[in-house]
Structure 1
Amino acid sequence: MELHVVHIREDVPDITEAKKKPDGVAVLAFFIKVEEENKNYTTLINKLENIKYKGQLAQMEPLPLSSLLPPKEDLGRYYRYEGSLTTPDCHEGVIWTVFEKPVELSISQISQFSTVHFDGKNSTYMVENFRPVQFLNERKVYWSSASTLLPPAKVLMLALMLTYILSSLFQ
């Protein structure tokens, strides 16, 4: 699971206008890792029961965004690239920042998110709703810790595959 925090420029009224600017939309992305229960998510997860279907509303006390993210000192390592939105219209020109440090939630907490539906009562659950991997298309991916361009995607994929194969041999 991933958490996407979508931002638009302050000088535009909505996402439609933000898409017209070259740096109008930015997304902060965090992977979710199965660990112990994260108490900071309790209020939010408890409200999911009230918004299982499209059009339902729930009231809750304001929740600081920072409480849902990894600690500030863990936000210095990230990858950045110019990509697109992951939902239709898949608008290009979005500045993505993908953080290395994941958000940690329990398996029970994660499973609560899969009880939400796309539409009404007989609609499908909001699971397996990811966009397929896209080609790099000459995009440049930067890594904060290196302050430089990462190696080509083929080299990264080879390194990931080798890591996976080697780890599976020793299990």
Structure 2
Amino acid sequence: MNFLTIIAVAVCVLAPSAYCESSTVEWCFHDPKCSDSTWSTIAALYCNGTRQSPINIVSANATENQNLTEFTFEGYGNKSALATIENTGDTVKVNFYTGVKISGGGLSESYDTLQAHLHWGNGTAAPGSEHTVDGKRFPMELHIVNIKSSYNRNTTLAVKDSEGLAALGFFIEELTGVDDQPASWKTLTSYLSNISNAGDNKTMAEDISLDDLLSGVNRANYYRYLGSLTTPVCNEAVVWTVFKEPIKVSKNLIDLFSTSMYIKNSTSLMVNVYRSIQPSQPVSTQPKASSSTKSGYSLALMTFALMMARY
């Protein structure tokens, strides 16, 4: 049996009592007694709420929002920003040093980047992204978790704010080719052999950056909705950004996560570590370029070409 125990901090903040101060929520992905089908009962305050994550994003239903501008990523190119990598018993998590943050992207203020973690199924054969798009589930999903800078990394305050956290979701799909690419993911997965068991952690060398891991992704195109954490206690405090373009990673590297990581207090491999789809939420995205804008751009190019032809 694999019980992953967390202190239900948010519950205690909102309903303090002597009992609450010592209470815990036992949850897991693998055992029917504590899997996500039970979370709405064992962590009822939020996990059965009205804006839960993840969701299936129906692309045709996403409304246009001109405020969804490009992000500014600070420290994402810093190869010394990744501090440690660990096996938490239910995922692989990377912790960051201070100085990494995001702003723009329609967010109300800057957000400090705290950590990144992954969700997966069972290799490329059994996809395990949390979000889906038009019903499609990807092999893996990377979540980068950020907190409002004004909270000075105090997550207790952040989870009381409906937009206290900002999560960046990146799909990961199989790269079809003969080489193990990109090199950054080969470097990242090289740490997995050192963190096979729950509780294992490893200090990371200054060899990759977040920009390296996100290479090839157009970060100007994304979906936006208000949701929750995807594990108990499922606080509804997250501004979700799900990027449209996936990260491309070779099959053998994707498969490493489901063949080399073990869950807590068990000899079972860590597979299918994702929450099932929750009821839909309103989703927005960037406006499409209007036909008049495209026509004007094309006309300008033709005019320029004619002028150049005279010389």
Q: What is the TM-score normalised by the length of structure 1?
A: 0.76
Letter paired with 2:148: R
Offset of residue 145 of structure 1: 4.2
> Are 2:159 and 1:19 aligned?
yes
Distance 1:85 1:48 in 2: 25
Max Rg structure: 2
User: Aligned residue for 1:9?
Assistant: 148
Offset of residue 20 of structure 1: 1.5
> Are 2:280 and 1:141 aligned?
no
SS state of the match for residue 199, structure 2?
coil
Q: Is the CA contact 1:34–1:107 (under 8 Å) kept in the aligned structure 2?
A: yes
> Are 2:203 and 1:59 aligned?
yes
Question: Which digits, 9 at most, give the CA deviation of each residue in 1:110-147, with x for residues without a partner?
Answer: 01111212214x343221111111112xx320012449
For 1:1-171, list aligned pairs within 5 A.
1-12=140-151, 13-35=153-175, 36=177, 37-62=181-206, 63-71=208-216, 74-114=218-258, 115-120=260-265, 122-136=266-280, 139-146=281-288
Unaligned runs of 5+ in 2: 1-139, 290-311
Distance 1:20 1:41 in 2: 35
Letter paired with 2:285: W
Q: Is the CA contact 1:80–1:95 (under 8 Å) kept in the aligned structure 2?
A: yes
Q: Which one has a larger percent helix, Structure 1 or Structure 2? A: 1
Q: Is the CA contact 1:70–1:102 (under 8 Å) kept in the aligned structure 2?
A: no
SS state of the match for residue 255, structure 2?
helix
User: Aligned residue for 1:167?
Assistant: none
Distance 1:29 1:70 in 2: 14
Q: Is the CA contact 1:70–1:101 (under 8 Å) kept in the aligned structure 2?
A: no
Q: What is the TM-score normalised by the length of structure 2?
A: 0.43
Distance 2:275 2:282 in 1: 20
Letter paired with 1:29: G
Detail structure 1 runs of 4+ shifted over 6 Å in the superposition: none
SS state of the match for residue 79, structure 1?
strand
Offset of residue 14 of structure 1: 3.1
Distance 2:161 2:237 in 1: 9
Q: Is the CA contact 2:160–2:237 (under 8 Å) kept in the aligned structure 1?
A: no
SS state of the match for residue 109, structure 1?
helix
Distance 1:145 1:34 in 2: 29
Unaligned runs of 5+ in 1: 148-171
Residues 75 and 117 from structure 1, CA distance in 2 versus in 1: closer, same or farther, beyond 3 angstroms? same
Residues 87 and 123 from structure 1, CA distance in 2 versus in 1: closer, same or farther, beyond 3 angstroms? farther
SS state of the match for residue 227, structure 2?
strand
Q: Is the CA contact 2:171–2:246 (under 8 Å) kept in the aligned structure 1?
A: yes
Residues 53 and 145 from structure 1, CA distance in 2 versus in 1: closer, same or farther, beyond 3 angstroms? farther
Q: Which one has a larger percent strand, Structure 1 or Structure 2? A: 2
Q: Is the CA contact 1:79–1:98 (under 8 Å) kept in the aligned structure 2?
A: yes
May I ask how many residue pairs the two structures share in their alignment?
A: 143
Taking every aligned residue pair, what percent have the same amino acid on both sides? Answer: 36
